[in-house]
Amino acid sequence: MITVPVELGARGYGVTVGPGARHGLAALIGELLPGAGRAAIVTQEAVPVEVDPGVPFEVHTVPPGEGAKSLATVELLCRGFARAGLSRADVVVAVGGGVVTDLAGFAAASFHRGTAYVNVATTLLAQVDAAIGGKTGVNLPEGKNLVGAFWQPRAVVCDTDVLASLPPREWASGRGEMAKYAFLGGGTPDATLLDLDLPEQVARCAAIKARVVAADEREGDRRMVLNYGHTLAHALEASAFDGPDGGGLRHGEAVAVGLVFAALLARRLGRIGDDRVSLHRRVVDGFGLSAELPSGSSAGRLVEFMARDKKAHHNLTFVLDGPDGPETVRGVGVSDVMATLAEMGAKP
């Protein structure tokens, strides 16, 4: 097993990565939360993973898909916790992907004004990103993840054995999130992440995220680099709620498109050259992902959604590569964004 520390002082915790990691959950809860007498397991019917928290538990099932990330679902969870007699000393265990960890974490943050939770991440996307860092939340019709809380888990468990059952689209979604970490590790970016075995890939991504979170827990500045590729990705996802521009992309698939878009935009702004753009394409291609916008994407419509992004701060804000690696760039001109989207084949 590989244990990656998330150094946050009293709120710090470990990310356990490796085959069979979930089988240590009961011992982990017993060590970290000796006062817990009951657990609420939050999961989905489609998640074929059973866990033993080592204390009596009740299972709370949430619907599938991004549409489940709503305030209504959080209310249902919290009411279920109350009926089950969950106390502040007990524990919520999220077993699933990013939708489950986001929902369970936000419900735990809200219930009794803060109940401990543990993430058992069952998708690649959750293991390398969504389950780590304490960002929880739900969507509104106006945008993705607009309501939530920073609430750190007490532990994260990444059992790489459970990934064997993932369908191809789930693998693609996780690899899109993994691809961004090739550019966030410090030093000169390269494609060595592609050469590692799966547990090492997960652990490297977790370690990079842990360092960023430790430096900036609440996304004041540095942590925003974790959104590399996400501004366009979130626009593609948000536009899919009421139109075709998202093209049915999974989150990581949208991030892959967003990474190449960000590289092209950075080149247009003179921040990087052709070699760095080629590296972005090489990493995205190496993970078997497409960098193409969905057919028929509207540049104007996507820019509207980018302007609503919670990182925008009332102007167009992106994480863009540069001489010192990816960093937050505010006030990017609409004309440059539109031209970059047109370069990728978007209509006006």
pLDDT at 312 (0 to 100): 53
Question: Strand, helix or coil at 4?
Answer: strand
Q: What is the full DSSP assignment across 41-110?
A: EEE-TT-------SS-EEEEE--SSGGG-SHHHHHHHHHHHHHTT--TTSEEEEEESHHHHHHHHHHHHH
Indicate the range of 69-73, 89-93, 313-317 predicted with least confidence.
313-317
Angle at 336 between CA 333 and CA 342, to 5 degrees: 140
pLDDT at 223 (0 to 100): 84
Residues 6+ apart with CB under 8 A from 188: none
At the second CATH level, the architecture of 2-166 is: 3-Layer(aba) Sandwich (3.40)
Beta bridge partners, 320, equal 327
Residues 6+ apart with CB under 8 A from 53: 25, 26, 29, 39, 41, 91, 93, 118
Q: What is the largest CA-CA distance in the chain?
A: 59
pLDDT at 18 over 60: yes
Q: Which amino acid is at 231?
A: T
Q: What is the full DSSP assignment across 221-281?
A: SGGGGGGTTHHHHHHHHHHTTSSSTTTT--HHHHHHHHHHHHHHHHHHTTSS-HHHHHHHH
> Taking each helix axis from N to C terminus, what angle separates 98-110 and 71-83, rounded to the nearest 10 degrees?
60
Q: What is the full DSSP assignment across 99-148?
A: HHHHHHHHHHHHGGG--EEEEEE-SHHIIIIITSSSEEEEEETTEEEEEE
What is d(CA 14, CA 6) in angstroms, rounded to the nearest whole number?
6
Indicate the range of 197-206, 215-224, 267-276 predicted with least confidence.
215-224
What is d(CA 124, CA 171) in angstroms, rounded to the nearest whole number?
7
pLDDT at 248 (0 to 100): 77
**Catalytic site residues?**
113, 135, 177, 209, 219, 223, 227, 230, 234, 251
Mean of pLDDT values over 177-204: 95
Percent residues over pLDDT 90 in the chain: 85
Residue extents of the structural domains in the chain = 2-166, 173-343
Quote the CATH superfamily of domain 173-343.
Dehydroquinate synthase-like - alpha domain (1.20.1090.10)
Residue 149, φ and ψ in degrees, nearest 5: -150, 155
Please report where in the chains the tokens 């077993």 appear, as a residue. 95
Percent residues over pLDDT 70 in the chain: 96
Q: 137, 117, 126: which is closest to 98 by C-alpha?
A: 126
Beta bridge partners, 2, equal 17
pLDDT at 244 (0 to 100): 47
Q: 33, 2, 34: which is closest to 18 by C-alpha?
A: 2
pLDDT at 241 over 70: no
Q: Whole-number mean pLDDT of the chain?
A: 93
